[in-house]
Amino acid sequence: MTTVTVRNLRNEFPKVKEVVEAEGEVIVTDNGQPRYKLVLYTPAPPARKSQVKDYMSRMRRHQPRPLSAAAAKSLDEENRGER
């Protein structure tokens, strides 16, 4: 692991940049003490696109066969009550 001073970073950045690209990281010292760590940036992988929800298949799981016309009419009349 390579170390550089703040002064070297400021005055010789292209050289420090090459070291970071070659080694992946560099420790930056300030007054002889390690203070910072320069790490090569690697972008995060792109987020997966969510799949389109299939509402018809979800509905079929809860109601596997459709109501007959007579069953739908009786359910409607039952829900309406005495309106």
Q: When comparing pLDDT for 4 and 53, which is higher?
A: 4
Q: What number does CATH give the domain 2-39?
A: 3.40.1620
pLDDT at 50: 80
pLDDT at 1: 80
In the numeric block, the tokens 């930056």 are attached to 28
pLDDT at 62: 83
**Concatenated DSSP letters for 48-77?**
PPPPPP-HHHHHHHHSSSPPPHHHHHHHHH
For residue range 22-61, list pLDDT tens digits in order.
999 999 999 999 999 999 998 888 888 888 888 888 888 8
Q: When comparing pLDDT for 10 and 65, which is higher?
A: 10
Q: Calculate the average pLDDT of the chain.
A: 88
